[in-house]
Structure 1
Amino acid sequence: MIIIFPGLGALPFFIQVIGLFFVPESPRWLAKVGTNKELENSLVRLRGRDADISREASEIQMMTKIVENDSKSGFCDLFQRKYRHTLVVGIGLMLIQQVSGSAAVLSYASTIFRKAGFSVAIGSTMLGLLMIPKAIIGVILVDKWGRRPLLLASVSGMTITSLLLGVAFTLQKMQLLSELTPIFTFICLTCYIGAYAIGLGGLPWVIMSEIFPINIKVTAGSIVTLAASSSSSIVLYAFNFLFEWSTQGIFYIFGAMGGAALLFIWLLVPETKGLSLEEVQASLIH
């Protein structure tokens, strides 16, 4: 018998609210508003009392002045040529995150299990239990492998497992090896969500925070978030219809989208591992 305590879901939010009181103010925002002493204090809290923060503080102040003197921050100014690359990367990663099928697979995993003939209760429980450790693996690997390699590995895993799910349902439709379809579907879904959790699930948001300069960060972040939420809604709305239209076809579509995503990441997404925000933005803004 499972006992569910009322309000248990609110516990993480209370922990987050308490933790916010211990988060120092952003050094770059402090540089923007011209409070240099508070900027140094914030860097000391972030880097440690023994760290030499003088060089980093100077770089932040210099880049902030360059950006503010050279750029406006209105909505229309976001579409200047020098911001084109960063905007394409930010929006593109959010679209990739959704059109590769992640939202649909996570939301309709029980429907997929039911269609494959696998136990919905066992499948959903196992997927939920595996999500947290896989996400932790992604956190560990992101600064060891780098953003691009981890993104490429994540999307590659999602692409391959999407195509394998398409094969599994194709064989089921042809009544070939149908007894293996349930367990094969469970394995593929587990690998798909694992691949998503270690990379594509969180890295687009990390990269977005690194590539946009402070003067357009709010506006650009709003547009990128709108792209993520709207594309997610479209994918979720369309999934049921497409799944009924062709059980295997929808996964082939997700696999094709994953292939296009690999090309996009390879050609356009910069590596930001080990670089300060000022170095990243200086390399992207021309």
Structure 2
Amino acid sequence: MVALVSAISGLLYGYDTGIISGALLQISDEFGIGSGWEQVIAASILAGAVIGALACSRLSQRLGRRKTLLIVGVVFVLGSAGAALAPNPVLLSLARVVLGFAVGGATQTAPTYVAELAPSKYRGRLVLFFQIAIGVGILIATIIGASESVDWRISIGAATVPSALMFLLMLRLPDSPRWLVKAGREDEARQALERVRPKGSDVSGELHDINELVEAETSASTSGWRGLRERWVRPALIVGCGLAVFTQLSGIEMIVYYSPTILTDNGFSNTVALRVSVGLGATYLITQLIGLAIIDRVGRRRLTLLTLPGAALSLIVLGTFFVTDHAGKAQVPYIIATLIAFMAFTAGGIQLMGWLTGSEIYPLATREAGAAAQSASLWGTNLLITLSLLTIIDTIGTGQTFWLYAAFNVAGFVFLYRKMPELTGRSLEQIENRLSKGKFTPADFAGTR
């Protein structure tokens, strides 16, 4: 049930961000708006996500993971209902800001909540439910959009159902034992552990380990947001936030949010454009599953560096179709194949790293603040891209915009090649130890596990 709550929050993240792709075609017709308002409506959820990621980081420290997720569940319901009932683009954008708060809060809190309640041998696969559910949410959103028979208000309002389910499930679940110990409520922490462990299990050893970790965190000289400014922590912050920025500059959100709009603006029919978005959603989910299956064998750094050139090349080819005026009906199969190739390289590579590294790259005492800073960097970059993309296309052209994002992928490759060490196979303690000794370059991690 704990993992299911995380999966629902991930599904809502994927669905609420993905549903706008097809809905924008209907919204622009109903409200009679142009690309400027389309950008604002699409980006408003991201503005809320930045606020939600930062605010819920502090809420989860003060109120606990459970209460924070209950608040997130209520906000999901209110935001979805408000967006579905909005009578004009202004109120629709404001409702999506509220919805974005829940999205940002969920991405910040749900994976941590699961990690702190799950038995160690199941932790990885249970936390990954969140990542997989994002892909499922995007795929469901694209299928609904492609049907063209579901009104945009119904498709957006439908998210209230899983939101309410998430809230009801959370009412029955315990709080994080780690947070309870930190709050001085050890008896409640023991009860929480006993609820999620086999009946009759002795949880004393696990509770002792939690006490030791909490004591180490509270006594650490480098902690919280102040700790991120420490010189020895800075390399982790640069890699983590840089990686978050380049996951968005890869162009993934350009395709998820705007592929139907871009294609219809270039002569594709609504039906074809929406069907392409379904293929892209399916590719996203499938390649994420493949990437998750091989990441521990291939390695985080290696997988990212192997896939980024493929994404860049796909965007170069895609841009060439439009720049050379070879984007007519005869080239449709090739354009679709190139879009799918881009999605496969991106979703199965760098997209896996944005959330994963936040839970492992920072020292224990700064991990929560580091993950929040990384989330805010990711959502903030996403916001800037979504607010500017259609304007950039109108200014320099569709093909040239694809080339611009190809250049971002090349820049991401160079940055990560020079800065990102291979963290696969290293314990959190080993990573922190290398960081504290100032040995956090790719060369420092090469050849040893």
CA gap of 1:62–1:276, structure 2 versus 1, over 3 A, is farther
Q: Which amino acid aligns with 2:243?
A: L
Q: Distance in 1 between matches of 2:303 and 2:185?
A: 37
Distance in 1 of aligned mates of 2:160 and 2:178: 32
Q: Does 1:145 align with 2:145?
A: no
AA partner of residue 169 (structure 1): F
* Equivalent position of 1:193 in the other structure: 343
Does residue 124 of structure 1 match 2:277?
Answer: yes
Q: SS of the counterpart of 2:365?
A: coil
SS at match of 1:71: coil
Question: Which shifted more, 126-135 or 1-10?
Answer: 1-10
1:158 is matched with 311
Determine what percentage of the aligned residue pairs are the same residue.
24
For CA contacts below 8 A with separation 6 or more, give which structure has more relative contact order: 1
Instruction: Find the aligned partners of 1:150 and 1:22 in 2 and give their Cα distance.
Output: 39
Write the deviation string for residues 142-189 of structure 1: whole angstroms up to 9, x where unpaired: 2221111222233222211111111111221xxx58444322221111
Query: Of 355, 360, 369, which aligns to 1:219?
Result: 369
Q: Tell me if the contact between 1:94 and 1:228 (Cα under 8 Å) persists in the aligned partners.
A: yes
Partner of 1:106: 256
Structural mapping, 1:32-43, within 5 Å:
none
Q: Could you say what secondary structure the match of 2:421 adopts?
A: coil
Q: Which residue of 1 aligns with 2:239?
A: 89
**Per-residue CA shift, 1:51-91, capped at 9, x if unaligned?**
xxx89x87x87776666544232433321111011100111
User: Which residue in 1 is equivalent to 2:228?
Assistant: 78
Q: Please give the secondary structure, in 1, of the residue aligned with 2:349.
A: helix
The SS at the match of 2:232 is: helix
Deviation at 1:282, TM superposition (A): 1.7
Of 239-248 and 8-17, deviating more is 8-17
CA 1:278–1:130: 2 relative to 1, 3 Å:
same
1:159–1:259 Cα contact (<8 Å) kept: yes
Matching residue of 1:258: 409
Task: Confirm or deny that 1:273 pairs with 2:273.
Answer: no
User: CA shift at 1:253, angstroms?
Assistant: 0.9
Query: Aligned pair in 2 of structure 1 residues 215, 29: CA closer, same or farther (>3 Å)?
Result: farther
Q: How far apart are residue 219 of structure 1 and its match?
A: 1.8
With 159-168 and 179-188 compared, the bigger mean Cα shift is at 179-188
CA deviation after TM superposition for structure 1 residue 218, in Å: 2.2
Q: Structure 1 residues 3, 247: closer, same or farther in 2, change over 3 A?
A: closer
Q: Distance in 2 between matches of 1:21 and 1:283?
A: 41
CA distance in 1, matches of 2:174, 2:290: 26
Equivalent in the alignment of 1:204:
354
Alpha carbons 1:67, 1:213 under 8 Å: kept: no
SS at match of 1:159: helix
Distance in 1, matches of 2:367 and 2:165, equals 27
Determine the C-alpha separation between the residues in 1 that align with 2:162 and 2:292: 19
**TM-score scaled by structure 2?**
0.53
SS at 2:433 equivalent: helix
Counterpart amino acid of 2:350? L
Q: Distance in 2 between matches of 1:171 and 1:97?
A: 28
Taking only aligned residues, the RMSD between alpha carbons, in angstroms, comes to 3.7
Where 2:425 maps in the other structure, the secondary structure is coil
Cα pair distance change 1:82/1:192, threshold 3 Å: same
CA contact under 8 A between 1:116 and 1:182: conserved in structure 2? no
Q: 1:181 aligns with which of 331, 334, 351?
A: 331
Provide TM-score, normalisation by structure 1. 0.79
Is residue 101–residue 254 contact of structure 1 (8 Å, CA) maintained in 2?
yes
Distance 1:30 1:65 in 2: 13
Alpha carbons of structure 1 residues 177 and 18: separation in structure 2 relative to 1, 3 Å: closer
8 Å contact kept, 2:276–2:336: yes
